[in-house]
Amino acid sequence: MSHSHIDAAQVGANVADSATAGATADPDLIADLALANRILFQERVLDAFGHVSVRHDKHPDHFLLARNMAPGLVTDHDIVEFDLDGNAVNANGRSVYLERFIHGEIYRARPDVMSIVHSHSPAVVPFGLLRHTPFRAVCHMSGFIGICAPIFEIRTIAGDSSDLLITSNELGAGLAKALGDQTVVLMRGHGSTVVGTSLKQAVFHAIYTEVNAKLQAEVMRLGEYTPLSEGETKTARKTIDTQVDRAWNLWKLRVKGEV
């Protein structure tokens, strides 16, 4: 009998711990991941759904992700370790996210990626539906989006009657392939997935992906527009990358109610 079953009410799954544990992850990394969950909820990238993960600091073939719960409520004790196949190390009977395969397969495909945010942030969703208008950087803060974010079409793998969720390694690998070497991949009728070379950078990218979507939608309503050129996206990205800590520190204080 299979150990997994789908809990429709919570959109989670109960799985047996089948991955092998090794050295424990850095407690500071676990604390930052819990904080990242609450920051992304506060900044309205995540609501009751969506998730953020970070690659294990001692086992690059493992990653850390909250158990199946609303991100705004995540604390250090809710973080679970997984292998790249999505097997849990220490769920200890707790329900885990159905879409954990997004994370494992992108970490497998992209050794440079250290953190991933998957969200349904609402301003981005329409751009995953558009057929002829690319989602692209329209502001210096979001140069990392480039000039055309790829769109993952789940029908190419799952047919036309899926629930649109990434619930298997096959679908996760398909999403990773669509992402390619980019930073943002849109998921038609679902949301988006954003990566970073650090947890803080992935959080920054996720927040400014939503900002860019609002700006691009607004300018499209106003008229013809001039987005960033490819060269501008690359140069702006390098400069803005050096400013990630400033934003993180502000968001952190806001979560703590200190600003």
Q: Which residues are catalytic?
A: 99
How far is 142 from 233, CA to CA, in rounded Å? 8
Residue 13, helix vs strand vs coil:
strand
Look up residue 186 and give its DSSP letter: E
Cβ atoms < 10 Å from Cβ of 116: 28
Contact between 104 and 56 (Cβ < 8 Å): no
Where on the phi/psi map is residue 2: left (φ > 0), alpha (ψ -120 to 50), or beta? beta
- How far out from the chain centre does Cα 140 lie? 21
Find where tokens 């992935």 sit.
202
Please provide residue 191's backbone torsions phi and psi, each rounded to the nearest 5 degrees.
170, -135
| Chain centroid offset of residue 80 CA | 16
Cα separation, 150 vs 136, in Å, equals 10
Residues 221, 236: Cα–Cα separation, whole Å: 25
Strand blocks (E) in 38-171: 51-55, 62-66, 79-83, 96-97, 115-119, 151-152
Q: What is the CA radius of gyration of the chain?
A: 18
